[in-house]
């Protein structure tokens, strides 16, 4: 009897051991079928592209505080209501209101009096020139080089920051982040040395005539001096002219100004979880954009993809087990007020946030996701990589997620950034060239499907 019991126990163990891989395979097959449904729906009936067409064509650039930003809020609310979500609502948030004013002008004037026009645009948040600002120019490659210059070399001049993005990085976002200090802090650091203005080489690897705007920061108790971005072609030309004539001057004219803060909103829509409604997964993009273009890739694509995640889940009948929210954040570009307010309200309400995903890298071909979480959580998400490889979006790496969801960091188990091909993004980023015609429908819809697939798995299995 004892030997029989031992044989029976060993036999059952063998059966269970054999059944475990079969069960796992069956589950993987079920997940694969569900994900295929999401991609099929997106490719056959996706609505991200047409929603983006309306947002960019009928509303256009949506700088915080503008009438276009307010129109975009109402548009986002209507789109999500039409999806038929369980709840759609607005979150009030106060935002900065900076206006560019008339088109900026800049001209180089040499010792012989000849003028050459430069393609420039004011950096977001800059003060105006109060007429025309004319001064000699000194070129530097970095904040460190500026700090090392004698005071008399800088005082009364316009500092020209001409460090290009590093072309050797395959990941262009790394090059952008590294070169961005001169845009963010250049004017303040120049003012500390007695400069009267700042010109900054556009943050782009492309060589063209489009100046790239972007936010800059002043410091308390430091004189606010005008700051403008030069197109990369303009920066190269100015640099060459300075070598030939170090005494040349630049005449700059900008009428931008900072107006009082104004009321705006985040737009939120959600599907309640069927099993764990108290656990929340957020997915979003930022509704505001700079004013030079249509805000297509930055970040109209992220907004339309985030709303599409909810539509895809509904259209395929894959009701999430945990609550999924789409959030259109306001004011990412020059303040992050929307992301901060969303996190504040979530904490005040005692909400349990499981994960947050952001799409803010353009609507190009999907590549995968970056995950900010404890190593064990990162590994759990990475275990789903094989399900995404057939769709070209199987690169799951630990790394930064996104600006708008960063304020949630202490409240969630994972912050996730949607990644797409980045090689063309900074050619148009923050420029007049960021328009609807630069977006490919299939690339955009594939991205929304990739996001929906990962949201579906997190909703089903948790973290």
Closest CA to 231 of 100, 427, 436: 427
Strands (E), 26-84: none
| Cα–Cα dist 308/445, whole Å | 9
- Among the options 332, 333, 358, 372, which is catalytic? 332
Q: Tokens in use for 86?
A: 């369980």
Pairing state between β 197-201 and 158-161? parallel
The residue among 377, 395, 340 whose CA lies nearest residue 462 is 377
Report how far Cα 161 is from the mean position of its chain's Cα atoms.
24
Cis ω on the peptide bond leading into residue 299 (within 30° of 0)? yes
Nearest to 228 by CA among 192, 205, 196: 196
Closest by Cα among 142, 188, 143 to 166: 142
Rounded Cα–Cα distance for residues 75 and 72 (Å): 5
The burial class, CB within 10 Å (0-12 / 13-18 / 19+), for 428 is: buried
**Where would I find the beta strands (DSSP E) of 287-402?**
322-329, 352-358, 366-373, 395-398
Q: What are the φ/ψ torsions at residue 142 (nearest 5 degrees)?
A: -160, 165
- CA 209/CA 325 separation, integer angstroms: 40
Distance CA 358, CA 401 (A): 7
Percentage helix, strand, coil, to 5, in the chain? 45, 25, 35
The kind and range of the H/E element at 12 are helix 2-45
Angle 226-66-90 from CA coordinates, rounded to 5°:
130
Strand order in 227-230's β-sheet? 115-117, 105-109, 249-253, 132-140, 158-161, 197-201, 227-230, 120-122
**Is 332 considered catalytic here?**
yes
Q: Which residues are catalytic?
A: 332
């Amino acid at each position: 009897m004892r030997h029989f019991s031992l044989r029976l126990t060993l036999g059952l163990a063998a059966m269970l051991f054999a059944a475990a891989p079969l069960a796992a395979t069956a589950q993987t097959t079920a997940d694969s079928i569900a994900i295929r449904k999401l991609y099929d729906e997106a490719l056959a009936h996706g609505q991200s592209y047409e929603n983006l067409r309306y947002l960019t064509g009928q509303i256009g650039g949506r700088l915080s505080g503008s009438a276009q930003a307010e129109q975009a809020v109402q548009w986002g609310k209507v789109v999500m209501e039409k999806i038929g979500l369980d709840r759609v609502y607005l979150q009030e948030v106060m935002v900065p209101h900076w206006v560019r004013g008339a088109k900026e002008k800049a001209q180089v004037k040499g010792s012989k009096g000849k003028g050459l026009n430069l393609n420039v645009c004011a950096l977001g948040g800059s003060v105006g020139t109060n007429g025309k600002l004319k001064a000699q120019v000194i070129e530097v490659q970095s904040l460190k080089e500026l700090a090392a210059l004698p005071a008399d070399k800088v005082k009364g001049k316009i500092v020209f920051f001409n460090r290009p993005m590093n072309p050797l990085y395959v990941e262009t976002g790394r090059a952008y982040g590294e070169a961005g200090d001169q845009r963010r802090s250049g004017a303040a650091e120049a003012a500390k040395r007695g400069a009267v203005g700042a010109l900054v080489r556009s943050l782009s690897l492309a060589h063209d005539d489009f100046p790239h705007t972007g936010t800059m920061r002043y410091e308390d108790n430091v004189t606010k001096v005008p700051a403008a971005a030069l197109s990369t072609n303009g920066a190269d030309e100015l640099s060459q002219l300075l070598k030939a004539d170090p005494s040349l001057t630049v005449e700059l004219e900008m009428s931008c100004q900072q107006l009082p803060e104004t009321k705006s909103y985040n737009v939120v829509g959600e599907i309640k979880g069927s099993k764990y409604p108290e656990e929340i997964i957020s997915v979003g993009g930022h509704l505001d954009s700079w004013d030079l273009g249509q805000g297509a890739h930055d970040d109209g694509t992220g907004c339309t993809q985030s709303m599409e995640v909810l539509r895809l889940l509904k259209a395929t009948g894959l009701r999430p087990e945990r609550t999924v929210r789409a959030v259109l954040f306001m004011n990412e570009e020059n303040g992050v007020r929307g992301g901060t307010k969303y996190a504040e309200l979530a904490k005040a309400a005692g909400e349990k946030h499981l994960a947050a995903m952001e799409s803010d890298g353009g609507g190009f071909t999907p590549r995968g996701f970056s995950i900010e979480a404890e190593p064990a959580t990162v590994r759990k998400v990475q275990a789903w990589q094989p399900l995404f490889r057939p769709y070209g979006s199987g690169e799951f790496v630990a790394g930064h997620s996104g600006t708008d969801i960063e304020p949630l960091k202490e409240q969630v188990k994972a912050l996730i950034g949607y990644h797409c091909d980045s090689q063309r993004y900074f050619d148009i980023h923050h420029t007049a060239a960021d328009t609807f015609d630069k977006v490919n429908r299939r690339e955009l819809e594939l991205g929304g499907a990739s996001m929906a697939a990962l949201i579906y798995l997190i909703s089903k299995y948790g973290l």
